[in-house]
Amino acid sequence: LGAGPPPERHAPFKALTPAQVALLGKRRPDDAAAVDNVPPGCAPLDGDALRPHCCSDKVARWCAVGLEGAFLSRVVEGAALAGIVVGRKYCFEHARRAFCCRVPHLQRHPALMGTGLLLDEGVYVDNDGADFRDRRCYAWCRGDAHAEELDGSAGATTSGAPSTLCRAAFLERYRALVRDAPASYGDAKRAAA
């Protein structure tokens, strides 16, 4: 990864107003009714450390604490996120609010960039807001023959098979590295945090 570009200076930004929610999690089927000022498909974090975060919240967290997360911090040195490239609907003000500037006292801001390359075949509709109700997402890692199509809410592949990125698969790889790791994902996550 290397040192990356120098930290990018961003103007001071106050992200929270009384009507805004700081961090969001993925909405679960058993969640209460939708909350005002929360995008469709999302829910306010409720103290459940295992509730999956929304995509921009994951990136904001990575900017603040590093890419390695709680599990990997036991076995690798921290890795900072140097830059973010947004494929469509890029707006610097929205990107800085979503990815970094709502995090108080952030030491290193990533370089925020947009690309003109089309990364999908969708049609761009100007002023059309983000809609998180489509549960489809894709995961690809270096060395994979192809991307996995996942149901983002369930965490399984669209065929119903467990993902190579699911908690059970990750815990299995983690336990191979950390011999004294707890047997359950939840216990391991809480112990590592």
Examine the domain organization and report whether 95 and 172 are in the same domain. Answer: no
pLDDT at 132 over 80: no
Q: Can you tell me the mean pLDDT for 5-21?
A: 49
**47-51, 103-107, 153-157: lowest mean pLDDT where?**
47-51
pTM of model > 0.85: no
Domain hosting residue 168, numbered range = 135-193
Whether residue 66 sits in one domain with residue 31: yes
Q: Are residues 19 and 81 in the same domain?
A: yes
In terms of domains, do 107 and 177 share one?
no
The count of structural domains within the chain is: 2
Q: Do 32 and 126 reside in the same domain of the chain?
A: yes
Label each residue of 30-94 as H, E or C: CCCCCCCCCCCCEEECCCCCCCCECHHHHHHHHHHHCCCHHHHCCCCCCCCCCEEEECCCCCHHH
191 compared with 52, residue with greater pLDDT? 191
Residues 59 and 46 in one domain: yes
Q: Are residues 15 and 102 in the same domain?
A: yes
Where does the pLDDT of residue 15 fall: very low under 50, low under 70, confident under 90, or very high at 90 and above? very low
The overall average pLDDT reported for the chain is: 73
Report the interhelical angle of 55-65 vs 92-99 (nearest 10°): 70
Residue ending a domain, among 132, 156, 171, is 132
Tell me: the pLDDT tens digits for 73-99?
777 777 878 888 887 677 888 888 778
Q: pLDDT tens, 100-124?
A: 777 777 777 888 888 877 666 766 6
Last residue within a domain, chosen from 132, 160, 180: 132
**pLDDT the model gives residue 21:** 45
Higher pLDDT, 44 or 22: 44
Question: Does residue 42 contact residue 24 with C-beta atoms inside 8 Å?
Answer: yes
